[in-house]
Amino acid sequence: MIHGLDATVPLGLSRLAPDEVMRIVLDDLTRGGIHEHFGTSTSGRRLEATDLDWSYGSGATLSGTSADLALILCGRRIPGGRFDGGGSSILA
């Protein structure tokens, strides 16, 4: 999933995965703590997907597409201006 997003997001292509699959990926990356293996932290941040009904955590809100959230949780760099909210700093 993530490697597919690595290719499609920079090209501006729509994600192919259904919403339910993206929810599972985001849940696994956050609640499972897998994101910590990539050097990212969600501490003090609330993550909100703008393209599906999904959120996680509490604190300053970081909102963006589910694909962008998944990529940043995996330590990928995302171009500026793709996230909204007071928690828009990199998850590090």
Closest Cα partner for 50 from 33, 67, 63?
Answer: 63
Q: Is the pLDDT of residue 92 over 80?
A: no
Closest Cα partner for 69 from 7, 52, 59?
Answer: 52
The edge-to-edge listing of strands for the beta sheet with 45-49 is 55-57, 45-49, 60-64
Over residues 45-56, the pLDDT tens digits come to: 999 999 999 999
Pairing of strands 45-49, 55-57: antiparallel
pTM, whole model, 2 decimals? 0.85
Count other C-beta atoms under 10 Å from residue 43's C-beta: 9
What's the mean per-residue pLDDT of the chain? 86
Tell me, rounded to whole angstroms, the distance of Cα 5 from its chain centroid. 11
Closest Cα partner for 29 from 70, 60, 58, 57?
Answer: 70
